[in-house]
Amino acid sequence: MSQAHVVLITGGSRGIGAAIARLAAAAGHAVVVNYARQADAAQRLCADIVATGGQALALQADVAQEAEVVHLFDETVRQLGRLDALVNNAGVVGPAARVDELSAERITRMFATNVLGSFLCAREAVRRMSTRHGGAGGAIVNITSRAADLGSPGEYVDYAASKAALETMTVGLAREVAREGIRVNAVSPGLINTGIHASGGQPDRVQRFADRIPMGRGGEPEEVARAVLWLLSDQASYVTGASLEVSGGR
Ligand code: NAP
C-alpha cells in the first residue's frame, strides 16, 4: 500500500483503532471508521480527519452480527469504490474474574466479538480483495494481544484465549491467501493507554502493571498504530503470517 487506498478499521472510533485511522488518513488513505454503539466518538473522529484534508466514513456495525458485517463491507465498496485493507481491531475484555467464576454469556460475548467478528470481517475482506475473487489484493492486520501468550490468569483467561485464536487465524489465513495477493499479519500489543481497561473495571491497570514492563511504562495507541501502518504498507511486502509485538519488551 504505497498510494491512496481504502482501509477499513473495525472499532476504529476510539483507542488504538482511532490512532490507526488518524495515521492511515494522514498517509493519504481513505478510512472507514467502524463502531458499535458510540456514534458520537466515530463522527467526531471523522470530522477531525476531514477537517485536516483527509477522507473518512463512519459506519456502524456490531462485528458479531453477520448481517451487519456484510452490510459494512457492502457500504464501504458502495461509498468508496473499493477495499484494500482491513484492520481487525474491535475487541472487548470483561471484568477481572477467575475461570471458575465465568458465565456462559460472558464467554460467548467475548468470543463473538473477538473471534467470530474477526473471522466474519476477514471473510468479507477476502471475498473483495482476493485475486481468486477478481480483487486486486490487499492486506489484513489482526490486533491480538500479549495476553495470548501470558494467559491472563485471575483476570480474563477467556480474553487471552480469544486472542490466541486470532493469532492462529493469522497464520492459517496468511498461508491460505498468500498466492492471492493478500498478506495477513498480527500486531500484538502489551499494555496500552486506552479506555478498554476502564471498560473492564480496572481504569488504573496500565499504571499498576507498568513496573512489570521492561521499558517501565505503558504504550500509547500511536505506537501500536505505527506498527500496523508498516504492516499494511508495501514496506512489508514480503511479510505475511507474522505477529509483531508492540509491548515495551517481553
Ligand atoms: P477501546 O478503547 O475499548 O475501543 C474499542 C473499540 O472497539 C471502540 O471503537 C468500540 O466501539 C469498538 N467495538 C467494541 N465492540 C465492538 C463490536 N462488537 N463491533 C464493532 N466495534 C466494537 O479498545 P482498545 O484498547 O483501543 O483496543 C483495541 C484492540 O486492541 C482490541 O482488540 C483489544 O483487545 C486490543 N488490545 C488492547 C490493549 C490495550 O492495552 N489497550 C492491549 C492488547 C490488545 P464503540 O465506541 O461504539 O463501543
Mean pLDDT value of segment 60-83: 98
pLDDT for the residue numbered 2: 52
The stretch 181-202 carries a mean pLDDT of 97
| 83 neighbors 6 (Cβ within 8 angstroms) | yes
**Residue 17 beta carbon below 6 angstroms from any ligand 1 atom:** yes
* pLDDT digit string, tens, across residues 9-20: 999 999 999 999
Rounded to 5 degrees, what angle do the CA atoms 118, 221, 51 make? 95
Please determine, for residue 131, whether its predicted confidence score (pLDDT) is greater than 70.
Answer: yes
How much distance in Å is there from the Cα of 20 to the middle of ligand 1? 12
Tell me how far apart the alpha carbons of residues 39 and 26 are, in angstroms, rounded to a whole number.
22
| Closest protein CA for atom 12 of ligand 1 | 11
Question: 234 CB contacts (<8 Å, ≥6 apart)?
Answer: 1, 2
Q: Atom 31, ligand 1: which residue's CA is nearest?
A: 91
247 in contact with ligand 1, CB cutoff 6 A: no
Q: How many residues would you count in the chain?
A: 250
Atom of ligand 1 minimally distant from the CA of 221: 26
- How large is the average pLDDT for residues 125-143? 98
Residue 159 annotated as catalytic? yes
Q: How far apart are CA 160 and CA 166, in angstroms?
A: 10
Q: What is the mean pLDDT of residues 42-66?
A: 98
Residue-level pLDDT at 4 = 75
Taking residues 43-61, report their average pLDDT.
98
Q: Is the pLDDT of residue 3 over 80?
A: no
69-92 in b/e form (b: 16+ CB < 10 A) is: bebbbeebeeebeebbbbbbbbbb
Residue 136 Cα to ligand 1 midpoint, Å, equals 29
pLDDT for the residue numbered 58: 98
Confidence category of residue 48, pLDDT binned at 50, 70, 90: very high
Residue 185: CB within 6 Å of ligand 1?
no
Q: What is the pLDDT of residue 1?
A: 60
**Residues of the chain with pLDDT > 90: what percent?**
98
Evaluate if residue 239 carries a pLDDT over 60.
Answer: yes
Q: Which three cell numbers stand for residue 82?
A: 473499493
pLDDT tier at 72, thresholds 50, 70, 90: very high
pTM above threshold 0.95: yes
| Section 65-84 average pLDDT | 98
- Note the pLDDT of residue 224: 99
Residue 60: CB within 6 Å of ligand 1?
no
Please give the average per-residue pLDDT across 61-86, as a whole number: 98
Tell me if 189 CB under 6 Å of ligand 1. yes
Taking residues 164-174, report their average pLDDT.
Answer: 98
Q: Is the pLDDT of residue 42 over 70?
A: yes
Domains of the chain, start order: 6-191+224-245 (3.40.50.720)
Tens digits of per-residue pLDDT, 224-238? 999 999 999 999 999
**Of 35, 156, 159, 238, which is the active-site residue?**
159
